[in-house]
Structure 1
Amino acid sequence: MSARMTPPNQAQGMAHFCADADDGLKHLQAHVATTAFDSDNGEDAPKCHANTRQAVLDDIMNWIIVQTAVRIQWILWLNGAAGAGKSAIGRSIVALCLAQNIPIARFFFFRTDSTRNNLKPVVATLVHQLMESIPELRSIIVPRIQADSLIFTKSLETQFQMLIFGPLLQLQSESSTPQKTVVLLIDGIDECDKHDEQAKIIRIITDFVKKHAFPMIAFFGSRAENQLCTEFRSRELADILLQLALDTDYRADEDIRRFLNDSFERIKITHPFGDELRRKNWPAQADVDEIMIKASGQFIYASVILKFISTANQDPAHLLEIHGECSCSQYARPVSHREMKITGWCVVL
């Protein structure tokens, strides 16, 4: 009688294998959340507008390029109110790192996207990018996936250890040249759906960087919610954390004004009503000042207003007038991108 093979997902208490390297890669790819690092979703923040946020971008890049031998701060926490521009800053940092050949793997959490509002796809998504940035890791990681096709059902700590920390340490031990700094960027961790899961990923990464002399650093971005303040200000992180607070350490007003002025100029050049807008010397400075007041330092407000005003089949000057009729009392608190909705003619927060 011929032997009957038990499918890997049905076997109990046995080792589980992928047949070859291609199977291992396919198994990895099946668990990757592609929108968590390469999304064209209109809800996702774009990179920072040109020539804006330069101070915070410089501070973060200067932190990234610090030599391992003299590094003190291994974890960076960028926090700020919803709409302050944290994700745009994160995406700009990704672009800067890629341009400078700095290995970076990122995961952008998103509360309303079930493929990236929990921890299940995090390790696979980071691993996929690390193998792209550091091709030498492939020969270490893929056999580990082949040897255990259930690896992505195991604890987050086990996945990190087997597929990220272990392979990076092995590569370091086998290489005769110094390892480049590896950056893990975890944005919107407050949008991970469970508080205990938010704490878990912070603690796993913190534990690794404190115990091992490996040039891996982590950049977290989030709102300063109570549970995250407690975690990032814990004793374990006190001596290795760099905290950057957008709401207090950086003034966004001039950057928002530059963004508005550049955007209005673009509208006057590209919009069907452009000739008329240029003849009117539109917009008036008072209109720009009013948007600045209502934005209250939140890039997201200015961005949504510009998107509203630039509607192709409407007169931008008229839409800007309608916006001016909205009561400033509506703009009392910062909000998230998902909360901002254009209702009728007013942006209601």
Structure 2
Amino acid sequence: MERAEVLGGNTEEVVDDILQWVENPSEKRLYWLDGKAGEGKSTIARTICERLMRKNLLGGSFFFKQGSGDRGNAHKFFTTLADRLSAHSPVLKARIASALEIDPKIPKMAFGVQFEKLILKPLSSSDIRKVVIVVDALDECEGDSDVIAIIAVLARVSEETSVDLRVILTSRPEIPPRSELEKILGKVKHYLLNEASSVEKDITHYLRLELSAIQIDAEARGYEFPAEWLDEDRITKLTQISMPLFIVAATICRFVKCGAEERESPEGPEGPVDRLNVIENRIRYDSFGGGSVYIPILKRAVHYQDVWMVTKLW
């Protein structure tokens, strides 16, 4: 899992809100984090997973990503969650293994049956009293009918009494996730990410901390940095070009970080200082938003025949 805890401002407030929700026994069992592309939902989801792991409360997670094999569809969604859940405790591992031994066809059955036999029953017959499942980017799951079915099945956690099973869902405000979740709003705690001023603060905070961490790591590898490398003027410019999309700031940082970690020959991609200069120079000439970040990255990849570097950024 990528390092996720570079947070601040409203983003940290969302994480705190989710963690308080987890601890509150009277809260609804489903938490829906709703926001547009690039607003930091996946970063929040990863951070929540990390913090829940420390508390031994993370039962499992699934990060959907369109076009990425099994991560792009729901075919192995519930079996993956069951596999992660089996690592939570030896008792759960034995119960889940027993269920599959009795009926090996469970992974091919309807989602509701998989959820019942591989997750609910093993949990209800264990001594675990609370566990949380995190599902990121549900809108990227291919197949509207599968998305609808997943939401309907997960909504059943509200009726479970033997264990406090919580589910955190993140998605863009798109149909079908939105339309289906709105049907069960009485069972869902809904958090909408949409405050531009807070997003700007979060992006600034993220850029400053992440680029500082990259500098520390790169200096240990022998790279030298000018004193003005991360002055406030540059951070402000990078924030402006990133707004309102968190993913643009993340792409900048990944592009720069690759320059510190993966330079394999004198003809390879530039170091971190040069890479940030590439981004900043593009900002001077273009003013059409995040596209000015992606263009120099793609041009560098083509120039150096370094396609693997681009694919690593997403």
TM over 0.5: yes
1:103 and 1:134 in contact (8 A); partners too? no
Residue equivalent to 1:154: 109
- Specify every segment of 5 or more residues in structure 1 that has no aligned partner in the other structure, as ranges: 1-38, 40-44
Structure 1 runs of 4+ with >6 Å offset: none
2:265 alignment partner in structure 1: none
- What's the offset of the Cα at 1:46? 4.2
| Equivalent residue letter for 1:156 | F
Shift of residue 136, structure 1, vs aligned partner: 1.7
- Measured in 2, the distance between the counterparts of 1:153 and 1:341 equals 45
Relative distance call for 1:321 and 1:96 in structure 2 (3 A) is closer
Query: Which residue of the partner structure matches residue 274 of structure 1?
Result: 224
Q: Which runs of 5+ in 2 are unaligned?
A: 261-269, 302-309
CA offsets per residue over residues 101-159 of structure 1, 9 Å max, x none? 21421111111211221222112211112122132223322222111111111111111
Aligned length: 286
Q: State the match for 2:13 in structure 1.
A: 55
Contact 1:74 1:209 in 2 (8 A): yes
For the residues of structure 2 that align with 1:250 and 1:121, how far apart are their CA atoms? 39
**TM-score for the superposition, normalised by structure 2:** 0.80
1:180 aligns with 2:180: no
Corresponding residue to 2:35 among 80, 90, 106: 80
Amino acid at match of 2:93: R
Structure 2 CA distance, aligned partners of 1:130 and 1:219? 15
**1:220 partnered with 2:178:** no
Matched-pair contact (CA < 8 Å) for 2:210–2:253: yes
SS of residue in 2 equivalent to 1:252 = helix
Instruction: Letter of the 2:243 partner, please give it.
Output: S
Counterpart in the other structure of 1:298: 245
Higher alpha-carbon Rg? 1
Alignment partner for residue 260 of structure 1, among 170, 191, 207?
207
The alignment-based identity, stated in percent, is: 23
Do the aligned partners of residues 326 and 79 (structure 1) sit closer, same or farther apart at CA in structure 2, a change above 3 Å counting?
farther
Q: Is the 8 A contact 1:295 1:301 kept in 2?
A: yes
Q: CA RMSD in A?
A: 2.9
Tell me, in whole angstroms, the C-alpha distance in 2 between the residues paired with 1:296 and 1:58. Answer: 23
Deviations 1:182-225, CA, capped at 9 Å, x for gaps: 11111111111011111101101113423645311111011110
2: CA distance between counterparts of 1:169 and 1:267?
Answer: 45
Deviations 1:153-188 (CA, angstroms, capped at 9, x unpaired): 1111111111111222233xxx5xxx4211111111
Change (3 A) 1:268 1:90: closer
Report the Cα distance in structure 2 between the residues aligned to 1:343 and 1:116, rounded to whole angstroms: 25
Q: Report the AA paired with residue 66 of structure 2.
A: R
Cα distance, 1:61 vs structure 2:
0.3
Partner of 1:133, secondary structure, is coil
Whether 1:118 and 2:73 are equivalent positions in the alignment is yes
Q: Which amino acid aligns with 2:76?
A: P
CA contact (8 A) 2:59 2:84 kept: yes
Query: C-alpha distance in 2, partners of 1:73/1:340?
Result: 44
Residues 103 and 181 of structure 1 are in contact (CA less than 8 Å); yes or no, is this contact kept in structure 2?
A: no
Seen in structure 2, the aligned counterparts of structure 1 residues 318 and 117 have a Cα distance that, compared at 3 Å, is: closer
